[in-house]
Chain A
């Protein structure tokens, strides 16, 4: 290479991380550490006592949506990256529209593509004489003279086979209340270019789109100061989070005097926060009756001692309330996330 006098204009690095990256031991994925996103087999669970069992699992993160308890997994992260796009996923069916035993879906690209995203538009293939070997590559699909119908957008990240949702032998639990949640247990097999891969089916209609353009919503994460990584507090998700899976990370600097609520019977949460140097007020045992408020932030933590708890609190748990904070406490990051929200 021949060097000229000018180094050339700088450009931010466009980065993307998929769930395949989350099992790495180190890294900073748009402000999240791999250990904050995926529990490795045999490792301690993050938001509850116990050990990860049944293979690696994406961690259910605490959240609030429409003022109610929610949780979510992060499947993909983009930083300084163009908007994610929608690829087709081909869903072979028989001529009557029924699934055929042993037939798998076909993806056009794998996670190593620069144009991979976990959002796919289902393209239903009505195929007479369909067998498990009829379609295993994009070329076979595109050369087939079959009826095609466009379907919904599906959130199904391609992942290492056997990856599921984090949890012990009793299954995955929502991190705020520790109630069991109903989620897919593991991956499903599919094809890319004649090669078997696995994907995790989060669900259909998980994002709103106008053709190729996915609608992005905001997800608010608490940080202790500008430039810091998100804290293990309840993120505030957009309304209808199961239909708004593409979100932009907005950091909320915890206002001075504000503090999170952690019931006394959740010492593991208190320890998690204190490890990040977040001061957690000690609360009365009686407030253990309000587990659903765990990990929410109140601007007036004195309300934790108020008989009118929780209504006496000024909770930072809605987009509208957070948008009313001073601008320097709301920092929109050039980080986008694909999330799979789970509602009780």
Chain B
């Protein structure tokens, strides 16, 4: 207890530091402590509105009408027909067939073309004067209609306090609910940051927000134009999205450790970023502390002359939970089966070198995703996806994005029509 108090006093008395954190992307933009910024208190409110126009093929799901296997969501990839940056899909309507809580959130439109308010997001950030503390909260509203009527959700997506205790070091300690530390795709969780519209096929495993504590540290190696970063977290849940694993409470009493070690090379015309991520801890979709979840991933980003190449590979294993019952953000299931997945994505984008006061950016992109997943005792389901998209930025306030997703079932799952044509207009304020 004395030691804890000492640490607290040390933190409290440490110098103030501020990062100009937009969307709390500490891996990307942290400039470390800047003493001059500590002179005035600041309260800022920002946010964005993401409006989509979406059309899915088939019935908007990945489920074949002829598939009577149980659970239905073990034999198909219900996440494939994503329509927005949240990874929500056009539909998860199973026609009454049994599923076991491996489902994404749905916008419930089936194959009907529809406008959507994907997200109305508001951020509040506060920097107390003279203190090395930063407070951040992000509240999001998702208006939805389901078969049972209005299903609008309000989500406190992030809420944390950050302490930057050292003046001359890029060190930050976080407590609360914050971004994932695993891989790189979480950096694009928000629609205004994501070059395209939809997340990858493995985003469900890596981009979830965690509730707990994390530490970020980066040191520069100016002699070789490089930096090395460390980002580690201990959370209730791990890094999966809340639709799959509950965030707000630890069901096992044990925490999940996750982290990433990154290296970046920053030359004048070339930027290279490499990272390795890991995760280990109990599954938080069940109550046994002995059923583990574990994952490893590698990521790469190269940017040069307007081109950007990014990619990530993932291996994740869930152990079988010995007790009955499964709990997710969407409800409960019968059993938490053992599960294995490998997957990855690669994206090439090109930002055209034209820029005016109105037209502030045009980016073309293509992405390839692949995923092979298997629940204990079930057939492995292999799927892939080709994505083509474009993003046009206007006045630095409005992003108009178009995307086409072509999903394929390679093995294990029946062939279904589940391609998606989606668009998004993101107004940032």
Contacts and interface: CB of A to CB of B under 8 A. Distances in A.
Contacts of B251: 8-9
Contacts of B257: 1-2
B281 A1 contact: yes
Interface size class of B (residues with CB under 8 A): 35 or more
A138 B69 contact: yes
B412 interface: yes
Contacts of A193: 379
A111 to B, nearest CB: 7
A317 to B, nearest CB: 34
B255 A4 contact: yes
Nearest to B255: A2
Interface in A1-38: 1-14
A63 B395 CA distance: 82
Binding site secondary structure of chain A: loop
A4 B250 contact: yes
Interface in A84-126: 85-88, 108-116, 121, 123
Contacts of B282: 1
A112 B287 contact: no
A80 B323 CA distance: 8
A86 B253 CA distance: 34
A1 B257 CA distance: 7
Contacts of B412: 138-139
B329 interface: no
A82 B255 contact: no
Nearest to B325: A11
B28 interface: no
A114 B377 contact: yes
A2 B234 contact: yes
Contacts of B325: 11, 14
Contacts of A87: 68-70
Contacts of B234: 2
Given A9-B287, A14-B322, A82-B334, A113 B377 contact: yes
Given A80-B324, A139-B413, A14 B70 contact: no
B314 interface: no
Interface string B3-38: 000000000000000000000000000000000000
A5 B252 CA distance: 11
B144 to A, nearest CB: 27
A148 B64 CA distance: 13
Interface in A191-233: 193, 211-212
Contact of A115 (B66, B292, B337): B337
A142 B96 CA distance: 18
B408 to A, nearest CB: 13
30 contacts: A1-B256, A1-B281, A4-B254, A4-B255, A6-B253, A7-B253, A8-B250, A8-B251, A9-B251, A10-B287, A11-B288, A11-B323, A14-B323, A14-B335, A82-B335, A85-B70, A87-B69, A87-B70, A88-B69, A111-B377, A113-B377, A114-B320, A114-B335, A114-B337, A114-B375, A115-B377, A121-B68, A138-B69, A138-B412, A148-B66
